[in-house]
């Protein structure tokens, strides 16, 4: 991209897709039963986090440029109740939330970044709304990964550079880029 705004949008789209892929990997590595496991009564299961992330994204990004990001149809409190949805149902909801976000963000251009949108009646620039969503989704994706890792225990396969292999990974990448 040859503009700051274009670069920002391209980077934001990549970040959203990256965090979706990390969440996809955590979901893939978690059993149906594991999706509903909670550390204690006050904590959230992966299923609850998925419901919340999807509910948030659907509300925020539906008719994004024209209506408040907190839709009257959203029942935020219900997102924090694990109603034992199946893994297939949770994956469908997960993907619906992300698709709603992509459908709204992908067509944006530099000219849109300083437009005003509202979230809970509070004015934001489009740029601020995107930053807010990147932070929100990355926060909850990290929670999902931690829960998936706890559930997998010793069987966890790292999503990034495995612990203790940073130097080896760096040398391999260096050699790949050199050739």
Mean of the per-residue pLDDT values of the chain? 92
Per-residue pLDDT tens over the stretch 126-166: 999 999 999 999 999 999 999 999 999 999 888 887 788 77
| Sign for the pseudo-dihedral over CA of 170, 172, 177, 179 | positive
Give the confidence band of 40 by pLDDT, cuts at 50, 70, 90.
very high
Over residues 104-121, the mean pLDDT reads 97
Per-residue pLDDT tens over the stretch 17-39: 999 999 999 999 999 999 999 99
- CA 43, CA 45: separation in Å to the nearest integer? 7
pTM listed for this prediction: 0.89
CB of 8 closer than 8 Å to CB of 114: no
- Which residues does 85 contact at the CB level (< 8 Å), separation at least 6? 47, 51, 93
Domains by residue range for the chain, with CATH: 4-178 (1.20.120.450)
Beta-sheet strands, E only, within the chain: 116-119, 122-125
Q: Note the Cα 174 to chain centre separation in Å.
A: 30
Backbone region of residue 44 per phi and psi (left: phi > 0; alpha: psi in -120 to 50; beta: other values) = beta
């Amino acid at each position: 991209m040859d503009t700051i705004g274009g670069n920002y949008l391209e980077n934001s789209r990549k970040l959203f897709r990256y965090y979706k892929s990390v969440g996809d990997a955590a979901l893939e590595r978690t059993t149906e039963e594991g999706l509903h496991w909670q550390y204690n009564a006050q904590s959230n299961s992966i299923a609850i986090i998925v419901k919340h992330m999807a509910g948030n994204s659907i509300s925020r990004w539906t008719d994004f440029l024209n209506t408040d990001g907190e839709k009257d149809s959203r029942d935020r409190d219900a997102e924090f109740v694990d109603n034992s949805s199946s893994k297939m149902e949770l994956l469908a909801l997960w993907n619906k939330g992300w698709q709603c976000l992509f459908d709204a963000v992908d067509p944006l251009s530099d000219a849109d970044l300083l437009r005003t949108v509202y979230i809970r009646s509070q004015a934001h620039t489009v740029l601020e709304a995107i930053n807010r969503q990147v932070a929100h989704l990355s926060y909850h994706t990290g929670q999902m990964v931690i829960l998936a890792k706890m559930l997998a225990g010793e069987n966890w396969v790292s999503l990034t550079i495995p612990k203790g292999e940073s130097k080896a990974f760096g040398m391999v990448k260096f050699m790949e880029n050199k050739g």
